[in-house]
Amino acid sequence: MILTGPEITEANADGRIAIAPFRADQVNPNSYNVRLGDTLLCYTDETIDAYRPNPTAELRIPDEGYVLRPEQLYLGHTMERVGSDHYVPLLFGRSSVGRLGLFVEITAPIGDIGFHGQWTLMLSPVRPLRVYPGMKIGQVMFFVALGEVDLYRGKYQSSEGPQESRYWHDRVGAR
């Protein structure tokens, strides 16, 4: 079961969902629009290694925008901190952004119950595209979970800004 816009608003008001800052004009019929934060991370090495930490460079998106390039993977973040101890959040790129040729969060749209923080967005443009801080970039939907809930306590909890992959952290000693 998916929450409707009015239910998202009510659940945010009574604490079942946490969206901050919350703006009523970002509520859709069954989702909530999230905006692009002002920070991007880019991996700096030619090759990304899944079993090691990878160096990144941080970029600030100025008010006049920043042009994303197709040959680069960008890690952005939502302006909003989003989470719930009651519902499963799913984040997808907005269709209007997809029609501009920007893939948003195509590999990991599902959030865990109990995660609270800014969401890292994987941004991949198919051609050069200027993006702006605060532009509506995605939408979060909330689904009812059935069964016993085990709240998220993972390594990305309380994230602020874009977070690089910590896959290597899980793989230490696995070789």
Q: Would you state the pLDDT for residue 173?
A: 53
Q: Would you state the pLDDT for residue 68?
A: 98
Q: Would you state the pLDDT for residue 99?
A: 94
Q: Which domain holds residue 100?
A: 5-46+53-147
> Number of folded domains in the chain?
1
Q: Would you state the pLDDT for residue 87?
A: 97
According to DSSP, the β-strands at 116-125 and 74-84 are: antiparallel
Residue 20 domain-assigned (yes or no): yes
Residue 161 domain-assigned (yes or no): no
Positions of the chain with pLDDT lower than 70, given as ranges: 106-107, 155, 158, 171-175
Residue 130 domain-assigned (yes or no): yes
CATH of the domain at 75: 2.70.40.10
Residue 172 domain-assigned (yes or no): no
Question: What pTM, to 2 d.p., does this model score?
Answer: 0.90
DSSP bridge pairs for 41:
58, 75
Residue 116 domain-assigned (yes or no): yes
Residue 141 domain-assigned (yes or no): yes
Q: What is the pLDDT of residues 10-37, one digit of tens each?
A: 999 999 999 999 999 999 999 999 999 9
Residue 62 domain-assigned (yes or no): yes
